[in-house]
Amino acid sequence: MKNVAVIGAGTMGNGIAHTFAQKGFKVQLIDISQQSLDKGLATITKNLDRMIAKEKISEADKETTLSNISTYTNIKEGVEYAGLVVEAATENIDLKLKIFRELSEACSEDTILATNTSSISITQIAAVTKKPDMVIGMHFMNPVPIMKLVEIIRGYNTSDEVTNTIMEMSKTLGKVPVEVNDYPGFVANRILMPMINESIETLYNGVAGVSEIDTVMKLGMAHPMGPLQLADFIGLDVCLSILNVMYDGFKNPKYAPCPLLVNMVMAGKLGVKSGEGFYDYSESRKAENVAKQFV
């Protein structure tokens, strides 16, 4: 279990790889392109440098962490020695099912397969594998190296042994694991996304403007970031995807995405990642300043 493969070198994937590597695990970071891997490693390096600047780690800690990470563009090679695989690919059910079918063929029977999905059914993902009892959800929060919470999601067939192993492993990472059951949105997003969606509805209905809504929630409810700014940070496409999963799963209209959110995603206004969402991030450092509020 000291060898961990992480699939996906994007925001969540490189954060998960960083966290495991910093705690002494050997990490095999896997993505389809070397360019994505290089970008992921650059992000990890930048975040480690930031920790050095804050005197949280030493230069030697940084070098040790980076030396614990190796990169692969081939899943089969990357997972060969892994006791745990954490999938952190795009929140797309078809892509995740494809990856888990491949993992089921490539990994040993003793390898635990985890997904960082924020809303998709663990049971559905596990059903395409040979050993659904070895599949579990590990929903890390962003930014992974900083945020303490990990939702540990049991699928219908996830074994007690696997659940206990992942709960204890999460603690060794310095995280606080919370065990939840496998229903759309789990706990975090089942509560968060309707709040974000209602904030968008409030804007859509002309009750108040963007900054006014966020100011009310920050000053009135002591939220560190307003819901519309948080939606920009998460990615409006991700918010829409999670709401659709919950709407499809529960068939309850309270989870139906606001038309404004749907239109913004169709128009490519995805938040920080696209340079524009509810706020304008076109100036060179605005997006970075939003992210820093979480660090």
**pLDDT number for residue 287:** 43
**pLDDT number for residue 288:** 46
Confidence band of 149 (pLDDT split at 50, 70, 90): very high
Q: Give start-end residues of each CATH 1.10.1040.10 domain in the chain.
A: 189-292
Catalytic residue, from 118, 170, 241, 274: name it: 118
Q: Could you tell me which CATH number the domain at 3-181 has? A: 3.40.50.720
Confidence band of 286 (pLDDT split at 50, 70, 90): low
**Does the annotation place 10 within a ligand binding site?**
yes
**pLDDT number for residue 283:** 65
- In single-letter form, the type of residue at position 172 comes to T
Measuring CA to CA, which residue among 66, 4, 75, 76 is closest to residue 38?
66
Q: Give start-end residues of each CATH 3.40.50.720 domain in the chain.
A: 3-181
Contact present, 41 and 10 (Cβ < 8 Å): no
Q: Is there a cis peptide before residue 194, judged by omega within 30 degrees of 0?
A: no
Model-level pTM?
Answer: 0.89
Catalytic residue, from 36, 104, 121, 139: name it: 139
Tell me whether residue 223 is one of the annotated catalytic residues.
no
Contact present, 145 and 171 (Cβ < 8 Å): no
Name the CATH superfamily for 189-292. Answer: N-(1-d-carboxylethyl)-l-norvaline Dehydrogenase; domain 2 (1.10.1040.10)
**pLDDT number for residue 1:** 80
Task: Average the pLDDT over 15-28 and give the result.
Answer: 98
**Does the annotation place 12 within a ligand binding site?**
yes
Average pLDDT value over all residues in the chain = 94
Residue 175 predicted with pLDDT over 90 = yes
Measuring CA to CA, which residue among 28, 72, 69, 65 is closest to residue 49?
65
**Does the annotation place 118 within a ligand binding site?**
yes
Task: Average the pLDDT over 33-57 and give the result.
Answer: 97
List own/partner pairs for 281-290 with CB under 8 A and 24 or more apart. Answer: 281/232, 290/225, 290/229, 290/232, 290/233
